[in-house]
Structure 1
Amino acid sequence: MAADKLSWATTEPLGYGKKYTYKASATGSDGKKVELTGSFTTLKPKSTPRATVNPVDDAVVGVGMPISIKFPEGPVQDKAAVEKALKVETSVPVEGSWAWLHDRQVDWRPKEYWPAGTEVKVSANLYGVPYGGGAYGKSDLTTAFTIGRNQVVKIHTPDHRMDVYRDGKLYTSYPASNGKDADPNLNTPNGTMIVMAKEKVGNFSNPRYGYTDVEKLWAVRFSNHGEFIHENEENRANIGKRNTSHGCVNLFEPDAKKYFDSAIIGDPIEVTGSKADMPTTSDVNDWLFSWAQWQSMSALR
């Protein structure tokens, strides 16, 4: 019952496609008792697509990590309705915005990198939200995660080095061989990406260029366009001297191991100096857009 006693609301969401009956009574100022009974039914959705959220609970991620809510079972037509149901809470003030990368994914990223140590809570109150086309949200989602230390990799490809910064200061630097300068298709593309995955042993077979069954150690993926940071002792003669890879960042094996151990998902990787730019069709492309572009991709702008 509301504080003014003029309305009543359920303390839990009603079910889809259900019939509810009610009975109410009240006594007026004249002392007369009034009763009211009735029933109603709730809508039956055409579908109730599930959604997913990332990062997951208790994750510790890098300062470039976006929040992603995906709708794998179907496109969202009413993006504004969905976006209104989303909430991000942070332990310190952080300016950010939601943006629709396509009709099955909406991401939130800060204007600048997250402050280290920020505690983040996300609420997606999607149950009952109309997605359009007769689809309604299946259930609410929540997650709570932490931003780790500030580590950013900077690669200026002509320098043949990979610099690692902590809290804005140079932490360590490794000799590197990047993508071939002469062929833009083989460049390590310009742009800000993030660490997406880590594999102790990565398979780098590429029949298009005539090599198969190629495995390299300490592989850190930073795009779905094909770029990794990994060891390549077979390219030792060029590391630190010439760019000869097919787009990956080649390191000596001990350096690759040290970097692998230091990296966490969501760490930014900033690449400059190449002839080619990372295409915005890469799966994790949040930092490839300017802040103004990013804001324009919100359904509520």
Structure 2
Amino acid sequence: MPAAKINASPAFGTEDLSPAQPVVVKVAGGRITQFALTNPEGKVVKGALSADNTSWTSGEVLGYGKTYTATGSALGANGKAVAIKGTYTTVTPDTRVRVNVSPGDGDVVGVAAPVIVRFGTEPADRASIEKNVKITTTPAVVGAWAWIQHDDGLWALDWRPKGYWPANTKVHVEANVYGLKFGEGEYGADSVTSDFSIGRNQVVYANAKSYQIVVKQGCTAINDESSCAKTVATYKASYGRGDEVNDPNLVTRSGVHVVIEKLPVHLMIGSPPFTYRSTEYWDVRISDNGEFIHENPYTVDVQGVDNVSHGCINLSPESAKAYFDSALVGDPVEVTGTSVQLSDADGDLYDWTIPWSKWLTLSAL
């Protein structure tokens, strides 16, 4: 009759063990009768025996920079006991990489809001990180992850639906990266979760040639105004004058913008060659290249008639306040009728400028 043989994975004596790597102890030719893995303070690591008592698998992540001691025994088919003993030492990172998830807990966002899981460094092995980032939606929504470098220089995993989110969707995101290796000496600092929801469906249709914006709700398709259930409001507007004066720097970009933030008052400062400084009210930022929907009392006489701005969408004070109050971060603003397309050169949220077929190629899995 065979004696019990112990096999540990990773092998006992392993140093620089990732805290996220499961520990598995198996016995051939016998069964485990007793086993514990303890930390330096004597706390027993959670784990479970298999139904036939031939293996034990850890059930929680370990701590950084600690030595764990395995003790136990196995009974061989020959009736003789064999001791189980060994140690593991977990890695002490040089850098603990922090992770941020947006939207955050409790947020209510518009139907174009992407999920963004930002990392403090670019992972050397994207696939290993992406395998540990999960999303659950209620109801189920078709979507995909993509690796995107944002305008702060940081790499992120962005998830967006194939179409706009269904209204009132509940979303749960898990970035289980604690203990995962990002690069040499770099490991995940903490795992992060977020639970948020999608609000009502509202889309702004902004055709620069119409000199107005139209706010609609209950829209079921991207770039299809006819798919919307109702019109909420129509406001006279003035867009960027770039197409009129042949200056692409002054053109309001065409494409699906996303509301990034809402500022009741904001000091706008022009970048060279523009040197203006102007305090504006009811500002809804729709890109990071300086495009806002905001009030401008000085262009009211041409709103609905001509395009005269530096690239923003100007409304009257009354219209701007009404739109500001109705907007959610994450709402789509579909701009059409101009000569320059929105792109990654225009700021952080350019996810909707990427065709779905290409988006699917940006995952590491």
TM-score range, shorter chain: over 0.9
Q: Give the conservation status (yes or no) of the 8 Å contact 1:66–1:286.
A: yes
Of residues 212, 218, 233, the one that matches 1:161 is 212
Query: For 1:196-207, what aligned pairs fall within 5 Å after superposition?
Result: 196-206=260-270
- The partner residue of 1:54 within 102, 105, 129 is 102
Aligned to 2:224: none
Larger Rg: 2
| Residue 281 of structure 2 is aligned to residue 253 of structure 1 | no
- Is the CA contact (8 Å cut-off) linking 1:161 and 1:174 kept in structure 2? yes
Does structure 1 residue 76 correspond to structure 2 residue 117? no
Corresponding residue number in structure 1 for 2:68: 20
* Correspondence 1:29-68 to 2 at 5 A: 29-68=77-116
Q: Quick check: which one's strand share is greater?
A: 2
Please tell me the residue identity of whatever aligns with 1:284.
Answer: L
The answer to whether structure 1 residue 299 and structure 2 residue 364 are counterparts is yes
- 112-121 vs 205-214, which moves further: 205-214
Tell me which amino acid in the other structure corresponds to 1:59: D
* Amino acid in structure 2 at the alignment position of 1:202: H
Q: Which range is displaced more, 10-19 or 86-95?
A: 10-19
TM-score normalised over the length of structure 2: 0.78
1:132 maps to which residue?
183
Measure, in 1, the Cα distance between the counterparts of 2:134 and 2:59. Answer: 20
Q: 2:267 aligned with 1:216, yes or no?
A: no
Once the two structures are TM-superposed, the CA of residue 4 in structure 1 deviates from its matched residue by 3.0
Give 1:251 deviation, angstroms: 0.4
Unaligned runs of 5+ in 1: none
The residue number in structure 1 matching 2:30 is none
The whole-number CA distance in structure 2 between the counterparts of 1:2 and 1:230 is 63
Alpha-carbon distance change, 205 to 270 in structure 1, aligned in 2, over 3 angstroms? same
Q: Secondary structure at the match of 1:45?
A: coil
Aligned-pair Cα RMSD in Å: 1.6
Normalising to structure 1: TM-score of the pair? 0.95
Q: How many residues are matched?
A: 299
- The alignment status of 1:97 with 2:162, answered yes or no, reads no
Higher relative contact order (CA 8 A, sep 6+): 1
Deviations along 1:97-123, one digit per CA (max 9) or x if unpaired, are 111112621211111000001000001
The alpha-carbon deviation at position 18 of structure 1 amounts to: 1.6
Structure 2 alignment gaps of length 5 or more: 1-48, 219-227
Equivalent pairs: percent with the same residue?
43
Q: 2:203 is matched by which residue type in structure 1?
A: V
Q: Distance in 1 between matches of 2:198 and 2:105?
A: 12
Q: Equivalent residue of 2:101, what SS?
A: strand
Match among 230, 238, 249 for residue 177 of structure 1: 238
